[in-house]
Structure 1
């Protein structure tokens, strides 16, 4: 079974775990490491002959348009991660719509400069920190109205301090407005959904757990959706010391293991971009056959 590999393209200093010590107005003063980190991922994917979806932050694309074109010219899918990396539920509906519009314009302009025409159009969106929750009931309509075909912003679990919608289906489905929702992966155990196969969970838990989670999800007849960030492949990134010890731990734990662990997964499972893994659903032809949530 083909699983979905997704990369949320943002700088190491834009992460919400570090925001107490990093002002948005100072972002341009920090060292940019995103190009080198993305290139390392691209080289690994090329060696493993695997394509992925890159959810690119508009702020990054604005400063590195050639990076967006490079990703697309290699046959990977480029999708939107919004512009300013703000939590969706911290914005008004209009602010969110404006953020989507700004990022879309920047990404489309960058894609138009690709040396090779993009294989995939701009179809997907993922919110920063999976911040589409019950606190932003208008979010999916806003994404649909912005012209996106699918969203991958919902974590169908509970217990996290920023995200979670435990009553949403764990697997791809059509929202009531027709937008395809492709939640990131969780496993069902002990009567609840547990996040798996991505981000801090990928770094914190041993690799055997991630392998087990992917196999468990596949055994239920569904693809796993794995998500990572370029900064997670960068153990030498500058340390930011202002946040609490817990927040620093969440950001920096096992950064030296991410590359090897992803290489391990790519050698054991088949992966592809969201537009390929969920092609029938996203195309709209299969939309009417999906359960409505």
Structure 2
């Protein structure tokens, strides 16, 4: 089961960068979202593939035409937060307000319930699992935020499950589709999106795909835009992580979409036998 998802944000929405933290910072940059979304829509049309789009509430207010186009094409829309902030850097009050605003902004545009969520940067760690009751409160039924391995921001290697499961949140069940891992030399490796996908050559991606009965992808419009400017203030390490492999990402993903079946989150949810799935129980107080 290979699931295709996109996180819809602007090219300058990079995390942990002091020059791109706020809406005021973002106003200095030119938009590239329409150009980059055109490429994504063309890719899906050319490969006859369905996908789920996790969108910022900010995008819904700034570019409602982008959200409407996704919806009118019949693609599923979830929330990727409102202002693309790391969840573990927010207080519970800040997090709840951001989540509520994102859900409302998206629902106002599409006139449909938003029932799925992915945290920016997979920023749910063991210490901020208090986010889960807020997801349940806001009507989120499916989460795609768990990253069961170490990463620069986010990641919860203690989660222990890299396949669809339930999260029991104080008695309420939340369906979880975490990022998948492959074991390489005793370590859990990620390959299915972002800089990881851009780093690996196609033949190695094919090898990982063959090893993986479950793949959860995550791509961004900027991943297919080799002509985007350099965001100011990035360290050399961040420049490498954010810009390496942009030129080849489109062709690699297109080839995999032609070789393997990919489905959206809604279809994946239908295919999972939830009666047989493990449950992670989190008793969380806020």
* TM-score over 0.5 for the pair: yes
C-alpha distance after superposition, 1:145-188 (max 9, x if no partner): 11011111111112x22122113201010012210111112112
> 1:228-239 to 2 correspondence within 5 Å?
228-239=219-230
Q: Which residue of 1 aligns with 2:284?
A: none
Q: Which residue of 2 aligns with 1:290?
A: 277
Calculate the TM-score normalised by the size of structure 1: 0.90
Identify if the C-alpha distance between structure 1 residues 73 and 44 changes in structure 2 by more than 3 Å, giving closer, same or farther: same
> 1:192-203 to 2 correspondence within 5 Å?
192-203=187-198
Q: Structure 2: which 5+ residue stretches go unaligned?
A: 281-286
| In structure 2, C-alpha distance between the alignment counterparts of 1:196 and 1:246, rounded to whole Å | 19
Please tell me whether the aligned partners of residues 126 and 158 of structure 2 are also in contact (alpha carbons under 8 angstroms): no
Q: Which residue of 1 aligns with 2:118?
A: 126
Q: Which residue of 2 aligns with 1:115?
A: none
Q: Which residue of 2 aligns with 1:272?
A: 263
> 1:82-231 to 2 correspondence within 5 Å?
82-112=81-111, 121-158=113-150, 160-168=151-159, 169-177=161-169, 178-218=173-213, 223-231=214-222
Compute the displacement of 1:280 (Å): 5.1
C-alpha distance after superposition, 1:78-110 (max 9, x if no partner): 110000101011111121111111000110111
| In structure 1, C-alpha distance between the alignment counterparts of 2:207 and 2:153, rounded to whole Å | 26
Compute the displacement of 1:56 (Å): 0.4
Compute the displacement of 1:14 (Å): 1.1
SS at match of 1:155: coil
Compute the displacement of 1:189 (Å): 2.9
| In structure 1, C-alpha distance between the alignment counterparts of 2:137 and 2:184, rounded to whole Å | 36
Task: Find out whether 1:66 has 2:95 as its counterpart.
Answer: no
C-alpha distance after superposition, 1:250-283 (max 9, x if no partner): 11101111110110110111111111112255xx
Q: Could you list the runs of 4 or more consecutive aligned residues of structure 1 that deviate by over 6 angstroms after TM superposition?
A: none
| In structure 2, C-alpha distance between the alignment counterparts of 1:45 and 1:23, rounded to whole Å | 31
Calculate the TM-score normalised by the size of structure 2: 0.92
Compute the RMSD of aligned alpha carbons: 1.5
Compute the displacement of 1:62 (Å): 1.0
| In structure 2, C-alpha distance between the alignment counterparts of 1:127 and 1:137, rounded to whole Å | 12
| In structure 1, C-alpha distance between the alignment counterparts of 2:236 and 2:184, rounded to whole Å | 29
Aligned residues: 275
| In structure 1, C-alpha distance between the alignment counterparts of 2:76 and 2:42, rounded to whole Å | 16
